[in-house]
Amino acid sequence: MRPSSTKHSFALFERSLWSDVAHALSGEQRDYLAEPLNRAVLMLALPMMMEMLMEALFALVATFWVGRLGPGAVAVVGLIEAVMTLIYAIAVGISFAATAIVARRIGASNPQLASQAAGQILLFGGAVSTALGLALGPVAAEILEAMSSDAAIVDLGTGFARIMFGCNATVFVIFVINAIFRGAGDAVLAMRTLWLANALNVILCPCFIFGWGPFPETGVTGAAIATNLARGIGVAYQLWHLCGRNSRVRIHLRDLRPAPALLRRIAVTAGTGVAQMLITTISWVALFRIVAIFGTAAVAGYTVAMRLVNVAMLAGLGLANAGATLVGQNLGAQRPDRAEDAVRIAMRWNVVLFSIVGAVFVVLAEPLVQLFTSDVRVITHGADALRIVSLGFPLYAAGNCLSAAFNGAGDTWTPTRLNFCCFWLGQLPLAWILAHTLGFGPVGVFVAVLVSFSILALWNRALFNRGQWKLHRL
């Protein structure tokens, strides 16, 4: 081929790529069952990746500003976020059911049943989040005491904990409604929700923490006030679209009337999804508790490193969720082979993305951690954690896509039992043995994370190749 012809072909490809990116972020409704698979994955993945990056930004913004208050404040945020991940886990578990059930009905060309399912999911999620707020808010101080033996940490973080636990509905409902949007293929609405909420959080966080302008100076508690206020406005934006004309799934009052049979189906699918996420999350909380034995600097360093890892993880979940949506829609349309191909495409792209990010994290570990703290001990622990955990990024990328495929099919049981084996029977005992019995300290915990997630990815691949998930019914 002549150079001029090659240059022309590349120019055409570049224009086509940028055109696809523009369409993906435009918010126009598309039939993903009719799109070529590579294009369908791209169209769904781009807004989903942006959404997930925005979700990660919430924690990063809080950690960045709270870091100016010292290691104790960073430790407070890390410890409470570790507990909040239990709430996130329940919300995400229900979200698995939301995406799978709504996607199946959209794939079967039945938007009315999809809207009814969305209404019941919202009813179910709202009830659960309210119960959690009433149960956890009043005992916030006791929970913090259980997480840390440092009285100064408990005194500093009690206000932050009460607000985060008591106002958990702002987090919970955003997760659930965005899962409904994703299942319907309205990924841009989910992305825009997080854009709005994050923009407000970036502005409000330093205002409430340091008392800028007319705002009161509330220290670390201000981060909780800002986050929940920003998320609450994001929920209002979601409901405006969900009850209006801009979403493929539109909820009416009739969709909010309890439908016992559908609620039971949602509860069963969501229940296993919640168990799946709780297994993962409780293991993370336990790891924080093991690290906490080595002091505040170790907890703060681990917190910063995990914030950075979560940015990559959540971005990668955008591709995984794109695969999950296409699995649900294609299984609803009785096209299981296309569902499998969608997962393989998403997985290949995710492995490339994670490999690049992992290499950057390994090389630039210390400078990245230094963005959040100037404490030498915290930087040392954080850089160690970031380097070790990042070595497994390519395998994590594949594992995330495969696990999301099971969940997208409604087979939430398979990832649940794999998580139980790899995390509770593998990761936690290994972390304790390496950190304490063999004397490696916090580094032993970081190595246990690398090993357990790598084994999980390989196990996911073996079960995915068997194909039983394609036979799951919802």
Is the pLDDT at 5 greater than 60? The verdict is: no
Is the pLDDT at 234 greater than 90? The verdict is: yes
Is the pLDDT at 8 greater than 60? The verdict is: no
- What's the average model confidence in pLDDT over 278-283? 85
CA gyration radius, the chain: 22
Is the pLDDT at 438 greater than 90? The verdict is: yes
Is the pLDDT at 457 greater than 70? The verdict is: yes
- What's the average model confidence in pLDDT over 249-275? 90
* Lowest-pLDDT choice from 13-27, 45-59, 216-230: 13-27
- What's the average model confidence in pLDDT over 420-439? 94
- What's the average model confidence in pLDDT over 446-450? 94
- What's the average model confidence in pLDDT over 123-150? 88
Provide the percentage of residues in the chain whose pLDDT is more than 70.
Answer: 93
Is the pLDDT at 368 greater than 90? The verdict is: yes
> What pLDDT sits at residue 337?
94
Within a 10 A sphere around the Cβ of 112, how many other Cβ atoms? Answer: 12
- For the chain, the domains span 41-471
- What's the average model confidence in pLDDT over 90-94? 88
Distance in angstroms (rounded) separating the CA atoms of residues 246 and 153:
46
Is the pLDDT at 9 greater than 50? The verdict is: no
Considering only CA atoms, which of 98, 104, 151, 87 is closest in space to residue 120? 98
Q: Which of 17-21, 27-31, 340-344 has the highest mean pLDDT?
A: 340-344
> What pLDDT sits at residue 31?
81
> What pLDDT sits at residue 22?
64
Provide the percentage of residues in the chain whose pLDDT is more than 90.
Answer: 51
pTM: 0.81
> What pLDDT sits at residue 377?
92
